[in-house]
């Protein structure tokens, strides 16, 4: 089903062929109702899933920010392949409404663009969907990836799949949450690999005493949003995500930020890696490194170099006490590493 928002759309006139298309039409009816708000369900990736109501005017503000950043214009083609129960899918529909795009509706799946054979201007996917769509993403001019952090391994695969194609594709990683109505900023992955997220106009960022990000976005949310995300500010428009403060361990009195170590290792190793804190009688928590896949000679050489740099950048106390290899990391549905399950497997 294609919904052409360059025309006035009457949801009653649309003919759904799938259950997902029915859900999209139901949301359009909800949007055109007299209510000024719509209910949104959170994913639960950083807490207990909940449902809260969002003002339609604020959703339009968010849509405008994204469309302006990507220079989308009336009549451009977009693809919806994310669930409309969540803010990610709802916002794709609202962006199409706001910018009058031609929206193709595809049932959310692990391989959502399997049948795509024409160029489209805009699409949003989860990392898992992109992982399964590398042979097709050259058909997408502006691809944004959200729902979970984009791993270094996936970034490498995206670059490999696109570098020999004659394509205008630009790929971005997003930063945001349900409360910010999807994302507040983007970071380019391809063709340029950027370190820092660029926040949209109208968004103000700062650090709290823990070095965690605070977000002021009055057009999207009435209150200042306090995150548990450790970041580095380049200036008042750009920040680098370092990791969640929840992923900090105390090993012998030393606080170790696990994701900072992982980020360093990703410069040397294309595999997925995870540092964890395992209970230890002497240290309280001992630092261990887990690597996805089998050990190889090349990997051993890369790992040696990476650990030398780790000791040089941090200290010898930031080196893992043990190293483990696991064939496949456990993940939650959006593709994000399930650290609790991985720790359970080790213990």
pLDDT digits (tens, 9 = 90+) for 239-280: 999 888 888 888 888 889 898 898 889 888 888 899 999 988
Q: 52 near 44, Cβ under 8 Å?
A: no
Asked if pLDDT for residue 332 goes beyond 80, the answer is no
Instruction: Give percent of the chain with pLDDT exceeding 90.
Output: 56
Same domain as 177, residue 265:
no
Instruction: Give percent of the chain with pLDDT exceeding 70.
Output: 97
Q: Which of 202, 217, 243 is the last residue of a domain?
A: 202
* Whole-number pLDDT of residue 334: 60
Q: 167 near 138, Cβ under 8 Å?
A: yes
Same domain as 82, residue 165:
yes
Give the residue numbers spanning the domain of 276: 252-346
* Whole-number pLDDT of residue 48: 54
In terms of DSSP bridges, do strands 2-4 and 102-105 run parallel, antiparallel, or are they unpaired? Answer: antiparallel
Q: How many residues does the chain have?
A: 347
Same domain as 261, residue 192:
no
In terms of DSSP bridges, do strands 284-292 and 322-326 run parallel, antiparallel, or are they unpaired? Answer: parallel
pLDDT digits (tens, 9 = 90+) for 23-51: 999 999 999 999 999 887 765 554 555 67
Average pLDDT over residues 163-182: 88
Q: 194 near 152, Cβ under 8 Å?
A: no
Chain centroid to Cα 99, Å, comes to 23
Angle between helices 258-265 and 297-313 (to 10 degrees): 130
Continuous segment of H or E residues that includes residue 276: strand 273-280
Same domain as 257, residue 198:
no
Asked if pLDDT for residue 130 goes beyond 90, the answer is yes
Instruction: Give the number of domains in the chain.
Output: 2
Model confidence band, residue 21 (pLDDT cutoffs 50, 70, 90): very high
Q: Model pTM?
A: 0.80
Q: Which of 137, 172, 202 is the last residue of a domain?
A: 202
Would residue 239 count as lying in a domain?
A: no
Positive or negative: CA dihedral 119, 120, 125, 127: positive
Would residue 220 count as lying in a domain?
A: no
* Whole-number pLDDT of residue 255: 86
* Whole-number pLDDT of residue 49: 58
Would residue 241 count as lying in a domain?
A: no
- Specify the CATH number for the domain of residue 321: 3.30.300.30
Same domain as 28, residue 115:
yes
Asked if pLDDT for residue 95 goes beyond 60, the answer is yes
Would residue 106 count as lying in a domain?
A: yes
Strand partners, 77: 102
Asked if pLDDT for residue 210 goes beyond 70, the answer is yes
Continuous segment of H or E residues that includes residue 234: strand 225-235
Same domain as 257, residue 162:
no
Model confidence band, residue 312 (pLDDT cutoffs 50, 70, 90): very high
Same domain as 256, residue 178:
no
Q: Which of 10-14, 18-22, 37-41 has the lowest mean pLDDT?
A: 37-41
The residues, any chain, with a CB within 8 Å of residue 294's CB and separated by 6 or more, are: 325, 327
Q: For residue 337, what is the DSSP state?
A: B
Same domain as 167, residue 83:
yes
* Whole-number pLDDT of residue 335: 64
* Whole-number pLDDT of residue 333: 64
The residues, any chain, with a CB within 8 Å of residue 274's CB and separated by 6 or more, are: 258, 262, 289, 290, 329, 337, 339, 342
Would residue 295 count as lying in a domain?
A: yes
- Specify the CATH number for the domain of residue 38: 3.40.50.12780
Q: Among residues 96, 104, 91, 100, which one has the least CA distance to residue 146?
A: 91
* Whole-number pLDDT of residue 6: 93
Would residue 174 count as lying in a domain?
A: yes
In terms of DSSP bridges, do strands 204-207 and 140-145 run parallel, antiparallel, or are they unpaired? Answer: unpaired
* Whole-number pLDDT of residue 43: 56
């Amino acid at each position: 089903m294609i919904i052409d928002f360059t025309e006035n759309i009457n949801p009653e006139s649309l003919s759904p062929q799938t259950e997902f298309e029915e859900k999209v039409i139901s949301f359009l009816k909800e949007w055109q109702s007299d209510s000024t708000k719509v209910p949104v369900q959170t994913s639960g990736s950083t807490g207990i899933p909940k449902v809260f109501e969002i003002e339609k005017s604020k959703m339009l503000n968010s849509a405008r920010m994204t469309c302006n950043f990507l220079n989308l214009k009336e009549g451009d083609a977009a693809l919806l392949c994310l669930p409309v129960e969540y803010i990610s899918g709802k916002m794709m529909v609202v962006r199409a409404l706001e910018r009058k795009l031609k929206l193709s509706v595809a049932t959310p799946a692990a391989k959502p663009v399997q049948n795509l054979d024409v160029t489209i201007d805009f699409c949003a996917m989860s990392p898992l969907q992109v992982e399964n769509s590398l042979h097709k993403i050259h058909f997408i001019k502006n691809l944004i990836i959200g729902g979970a952090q984009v791993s270094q391994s996936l970034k490498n695969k995206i670059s490999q799949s696109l570098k020999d194609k004659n394509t205008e594709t630009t790929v971005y990683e997003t930063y945001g949450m349900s409360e910010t109505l999807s994302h507040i900023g983007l970071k380019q992955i391809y063709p340029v690999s950027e370190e820092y997220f660029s926040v949209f106009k109208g968004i103000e960022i700062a650090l709290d005493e823990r070095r965690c990000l605070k977000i002021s976005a009055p057009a999207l949310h009435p209150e200042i949003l306090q995150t548990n995300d450790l970041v580095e500010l380049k200036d008042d428009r750009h920040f680098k995500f370092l990791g969640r403060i929840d992923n900090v361990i105390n090993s012998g009195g030393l606080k170790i930020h696990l994701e900072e170590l992982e980020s360093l290792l990703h410069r040397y190793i294309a595999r997925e890696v995870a540092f964890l804190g395992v209970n230890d009688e002497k240290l309280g928590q001992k630092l261990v490194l887990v690597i996805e896949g089998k050990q190889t000679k090349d990997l051993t050489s890369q790992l040696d170099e990476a650990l030398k740099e780790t000791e040089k950048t941090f200290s010898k106390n930031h080196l893992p006490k043990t190293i483990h290899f696991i064939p496949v990391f456990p993940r939650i549905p959006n593709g994000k590493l399930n650290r609790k399950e991985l720790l359970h497997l080790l213990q």
